[in-house]
Amino acid sequence: MVAGQQSWSTQTVAGSELVPGVLLLRYRRHSGGEDQARATFVASKATKATAGATSAAVKRRRQLERGQMTRPESMAFEMSNKNKELMNDIFTNCKLKNGFGPSVQATAAATSPTKRPLSPDHPNPALPITETPSPAMNRMGWALRTLLVADSSSCLKDRKVSGKLIRKCAPGTELVDWLVNLSPIVHTRAQAAGMWQALLEEGVLAHVNKEQPFKDKCFLYRFRLDEEGGTAAAGVPQAEDLGAANEHIREALSALFQRGPDATLRMILRKPSHERTSEELELVFEELVHIAALSHLSTSIKRELSSIFVFEAHAQAGTILFNQGDEGRSWYILLKGSVDVVIHGKGTVATLKTGDDFGKLALINDAPRAATIVLKENNCHLLRVDKEHFNRILRDVEANTLRLQEHGKDVLVLERVAKQRGQHSAFKYTVMSGTPAKMLEHLLETRLGQSVGGLDPFLDDFLLTHIVFMPVVQLVDELANYFHCDAHEDAQTAEDREYIINFKKRVIQFMQKWVMAVRHAAFEEPSVCDFIEDLAAEVEADPDLNEETSIVHNVLTQMARYQEDRNQNAGQKWKLPPNGQPICLFSGNATPSKTVIRPDDDIIFRVYCADHTYCTLRFPMHTTAELIKACAADKLQLNRGPEDLVLVEVKSNGERSVFKDNDVSIPTGLSLNGRLFVSVKDHLDALTQLQEQECPTEGVDIDLEILSTKELAYHITLFEWDLFWAVHEYELLYHTFGRHHFGKITANLDVFLRRFNEVQYWIVTELVSTPSLSKRVGLVRKFIKLAAYCKEYQNLNAFFAVVMGLSNMAVSRLQQTWEKIPSKFRKIFQEFEALIDPSRNHRAYRVFVGKLQPPLIPFMPLLLKDMTFAHEGNKTSLDGLVNFEKMHMMAQTMRTIRFCRSRSLGLEPPSPKSEGEVRSYISSFRVIDNQRVLTAMSQKVEPTRKL
Ligand code: CMP
């Protein structure tokens, strides 16, 4: 074997074809000479076990060294004509500059490039890019050699170099001379050199030491035929062969003439950047202008890229360029051929073609490779930019949007966004839209597994909003499939096992973060509990998952605590008393604090019919309107079919609102003094409100004057904190999208929102039902102080309610009262009004609240408004993909709630006295919520002055 010759091969196992499913890679390294990989790629048919199951997934973690190559049928790098001319000039100039160099040995010693292995990682322009020459090139080479040998004055001679005989070799310069003389179409030495390089890159011709590409210099080259020896190489050609060669040569020369410039360009792109001359860089630059994947880049960036792009050629279909889960090291543009994008458990999801690029996702996000890239055909050509150069030149200018496709359809759309401060690079991709399954895959592949502190925003958004686009059962199913990705794989190598274990760890991490993000909501789903238990059993049984046992135990403990709490509170009952307050929480009953209303808690409530007779019903919270309607109709003996009946709320002002049959948590959803009616559809107009709806509801009778205002604010805040604490972030989603979509109750949110109205109307009711002017003045002062204390306690919900109550038309018109309010109080009140000013999207409040630290109770109606705006202003689905930007917007609002409650409320009681009295007073205010009635009462206490 000639010194420096490589021993390598890349094989595709016969008959193998990439199919979705199992990809088994086997490779071994050849020792001796350069460290070369011999790769055998086996693709065996997938066994998809169950629908949606992760079929024995691809799990090989091997970095195959890229093998080399067989025959390119056509040239990938088709140079523009202009460049072909330029190329000729370059070579002419090179020749002039270089002249005829010293002897082969001397040159080799002086300038011998360090030997590079035959790996596309470090391509060597002296070596062929194909495994064996194509028949066409072989024939061209044969014809040229035949004519050369037949020529008695030929340069092709046996020569002794360093005492060693090298048969039939010739210096590059003489080969160029000969070719220029042979054909009138070859005008320049550069053209001739390019033609010889075209033969060299297919292995028809080679430098004797395999150290040089073709150069118009004194380096010695010889034909492959002469390297191999044998009969074909021996002696003078027969007349018959000579005739055939002569006949073929014209066609051969013209084909070679075409290929020369492209071969030269490929040769330049395989040289290390410091060996590329400025003329060569100019030539590469001119070619980059024609590549679509670079069209968005500026000229200066393309110039920089000219020196760092590397040309890679791969001979064998089935060669793996890199594996899913690998570290991202390069970005690629496909110049020729096609590659399959293969994903564990899915198989081939996309095929990328000439001109497509891939591999920047991992580079930009510093994440593992999201897919395995497998060559689909023989002789693929690629341009490669390695990570360090990519980061330096491209990272910050890369295209803003990245669309990933599977089976011809977009599955994930990512957009480049500025990274948060503290992260080590400036930009990364964030998900804009995607299919639910692909987003989950992206999460598991790229956002978990690294020891990152805190909750990744994408993961958090996903966990907070997935119920909108991926029901819990589906999510659990997908996770179980990922966790059991090894279920159908028998033989596993250590590397396979490592990959599988890593993936299992990610699923466990996901579970942990899920529970962290949504707390008890996760445990409310039986499918989640079953999954956690299965997971725990498997983790216990698997020694490789030892480190994960503590995570799983922690989750199990939380689950047990939840279940215990649930059992203790099983059969929890609520009451909707006839006079105002919908549930016992507000009726002064000794309910334990921080009680969450659960879907299967019972609630006792009345349902009226048109003649104001009623029945009392007891149903779980999650009971549908349809069932309540049927039961009430039966009890009230309406004798009509359910299709003729409706369940309807009649508000205290007589307004009616009909419930959908599939609506749930009906009683808690009523307005303050609203009543539930069952009515014949056609008789809706006959429904009138009850007399009691217009009167102040019953409550604790107390002389407000004697209560300490700070005490009031303190107890209001404690009370509302408990209500706020019980609201789950998901209830905001149910409320915004409509709880009937989810079949989930929003009772805790309903109660909290009612509370806002209750406080607001309590202020108005108290003021308009106080006939004494001096008492009213005292009350207004008290309420302004109350607002100030609520603000101090960071109970913004009550602060808004009190200030809005004082700004209610029935109160603001009380001129005589306001005239007597000291200006100091009026000024404070004006400041408060400025704070609740809704203009510029509640800017004043947002700025104020933005500076507060938790714990705080936010102004809930504004959060709901933000949710509604996000919902109504943005489609949930965009071209069949989940609009994740919308989910992100909603999650931001939901996170606000989490932030507000991230520290527990530890208020100092203003005084130790009157605890019980004030608490029962503030939990059951006397309220009129009919504006007409309130205005009339206001008129009564302070009739409008006649001018
Ligand atoms: P990266 O994750 O760096 O490496 C694998 C590449 O495959 C990925 O970047 C994308 O450029 C490309 N790719 C194309 N289609 C998909 C797809 N549907 N899912 C994941 N990766 C894909």
Question: What's the pLDDT tens digit per position in 46-65?
Answer: 222 323 333 322 333 232 22
361 CB under 6 A from ligand 1? Answer: yes
Amino acid at 755: R
Q: How far apart are the C-alpha atoms of 180 and 177, rounded to whole Å?
A: 5
pLDDT band for position 902 (cuts 50, 70, 90): very high
Q: How far apart are the C-alpha atoms of 405 and 104, rounded to whole Å?
A: 52
pLDDT above 90: percentage of residues in the chain: 58
pLDDT band for position 44 (cuts 50, 70, 90): very low
Q: How many Cβ atoms are within 10 Å of 893's Cβ, its own excluded?
A: 22
Residue range 477-483: average pLDDT? 93
- 607: helix, strand or coil: strand
Asked whether the beta carbons of 24 and 56 are under 8 A apart, the reply is no
Confidence at residue 22, expressed as pLDDT on a 0 to 100 scale: 26
867 CB under 6 A from ligand 1? Answer: no
For 935, counting Cβ atoms within 10 Å of its Cβ (0-12 exposed, 13-18 middle, 19+ buried), the class is middle
442 CB under 6 A from ligand 1? Answer: no
pLDDT above 70: percentage of residues in the chain: 81
Confidence at residue 915, expressed as pLDDT on a 0 to 100 scale: 67
pLDDT digits (tens, 9 = 90+) for 293-347: 888 888 888 888 999 999 999 989 999 999 998 999 999 999 999 999 999 888 9
Q: Which two tokens stand for residue 121?
A: 């990682």
Confidence at residue 625, expressed as pLDDT on a 0 to 100 scale: 96
Q: Which two tokens stand for residue 268?
A: 């330049």
Contacts 24+ apart (CB under 8 A), 111-115: 112/211, 113/211, 113/212, 113/275, 115/4, 115/34, 115/211
Phi, psi of 299 (to 5 degrees): -60, -40
Which ligand 1 atom is the nearest neighbour of the CA of 362?
A: 3
Confidence at residue 565, expressed as pLDDT on a 0 to 100 scale: 83
Q: How far apart are the C-alpha atoms of 544 and 538, rounded to whole Å?
A: 11
Statement: residue 456 has pLDDT above 70: yes
Task: Kindly report the protein residue whose alpha carbon is nearest to atom 13 of ligand 1.
Answer: 404
Statement: residue 248 has pLDDT above 60: yes
Residue range 378-398: average pLDDT? 88
Asked whether the beta carbons of 10 and 131 are under 8 A apart, the reply is yes
Amino acid at 713: A
Confidence at residue 105, expressed as pLDDT on a 0 to 100 scale: 31
CA 628 – ligand 1 centroid, Å: 52
Confidence at residue 244, expressed as pLDDT on a 0 to 100 scale: 92
Confidence at residue 12, expressed as pLDDT on a 0 to 100 scale: 29
Asked whether the beta carbons of 482 and 49 are under 8 A apart, the reply is no
358 CB under 6 A from ligand 1? Answer: yes
261 CB under 6 A from ligand 1? Answer: no
Q: How far apart are the C-alpha atoms of 895 and 433, rounded to whole Å?
A: 20
Q: How far apart are the C-alpha atoms of 193 and 176, rounded to whole Å?
A: 6
CA 318 – ligand 1 centroid, Å: 17
pLDDT band for position 357 (cuts 50, 70, 90): very high
Task: Kindly report the protein residue whose alpha carbon is nearest to atom 1 of ligand 1.
Answer: 359
N residues, the chain: 947
Q: Which two tokens stand for residue 38?
A: 């011999």
Choose which residue among 63, 341, 357 to substitute to test ligand 1 binding: the one with the highest number of ligand atoms within 8 A of its C-beta: 341
Statement: residue 932 has pLDDT above 60: yes
Q: In this predicted structure, which of 252-261, 465-474, 479-488 has the lowest mean pLDDT? A: 479-488
Q: Which two tokens stand for residue 139?
A: 């024939």
Pairing relation of β-strands 10-12 and 36-43? Answer: parallel
CA 883 – ligand 1 centroid, Å: 20
650 CB under 6 A from ligand 1? Answer: no
CA 404 – ligand 1 centroid, Å: 6
- Mean residue pLDDT of the chain comes to 82
pLDDT band for position 578 (cuts 50, 70, 90): low
Angle between helix 472-483 and 526-541 (nearest 10): 10
| Residue whose structure tokens are 């895959």 | 441
Statement: residue 591 has pLDDT above 80: no
Q: How many Cβ atoms are within 10 Å of 180's Cβ, its own excluded?
A: 16
Asked whether the beta carbons of 582 and 755 are under 8 A apart, the reply is no
Which DSSP state fits 33? Answer: S
Contacts of 50 (CB under 8 A, 6+ apart): none
Chain centre to alpha carbon of residue 463: 12
Residue range 163-190: average pLDDT? 91
Give the residue among 745, 681, 738, 736 at the shortest CA–CA distance from 863.
Answer: 736
341 CB under 6 A from ligand 1? Answer: yes
Statement: residue 39 has pLDDT above 60: no
Asked whether the beta carbons of 736 and 867 are under 8 A apart, the reply is yes
Amino acid at 315: A
Question: When comparing pLDDT for 944 and 219, which is higher?
Answer: 219
Strand intervals (E) in 585-694: 602-608, 614-620, 645-650, 656-658, 675-680
Angle 653-654-656 (CA atoms, 0-180°, nearest 5)?
A: 120
pLDDT digits (tens, 9 = 90+) for 78-131: 555 544 444 444 333 333 222 222 222 333 333 333 333 334 567 889 999 998
293 CB under 6 A from ligand 1? Answer: no
Statement: residue 28 has pLDDT above 50: no
pLDDT band for position 351 (cuts 50, 70, 90): very high
Task: Kindly report the protein residue whose alpha carbon is nearest to atom 9 of ligand 1.
Answer: 359
Q: How far apart are the C-alpha atoms of 232 and 225, rounded to whole Å?
A: 7
Confidence at residue 157, expressed as pLDDT on a 0 to 100 scale: 86
Residue range 759-787: average pLDDT? 96
Q: In this predicted structure, which of 399-403, 437-441, 912-916 has the lowest mean pLDDT? A: 912-916
Task: Kindly report the protein residue whose alpha carbon is nearest to atom 6 of ligand 1.
Answer: 359
371 CB under 6 A from ligand 1? Answer: yes
Percent composition of the chain: helix, strand, coil (DSSP 3-state, to 5): 50, 15, 35
Confidence at residue 33, expressed as pLDDT on a 0 to 100 scale: 27
Statement: residue 235 has pLDDT above 70: no
Statement: residue 683 has pLDDT above 70: yes
CA 432 – ligand 1 centroid, Å: 16
User: Measured between alpha carbons, how far apart are the two ends of the chain, in Å?
Assistant: 118
Confidence at residue 60, expressed as pLDDT on a 0 to 100 scale: 30
Q: How far apart are the C-alpha atoms of 908 and 936, rounded to whole Å?
A: 41
Model-level pTM?
A: 0.75
Statement: residue 187 has pLDDT above 80: yes
Strand order of the β-sheet with 339-343 is 320-322, 372-375, 339-343, 347-352
Asked whether the beta carbons of 769 and 829 are under 8 A apart, the reply is no
Q: How far apart are the C-alpha atoms of 543 and 217, rounded to whole Å?
A: 64
411 CB under 6 A from ligand 1? Answer: yes
Question: When comparing pLDDT for 510 and 574, which is higher?
Answer: 510
Q: How far apart are the C-alpha atoms of 239 and 226, rounded to whole Å?
A: 20
Amino acid at 166: I
Confidence at residue 715, expressed as pLDDT on a 0 to 100 scale: 94
359 CB under 6 A from ligand 1? Answer: yes
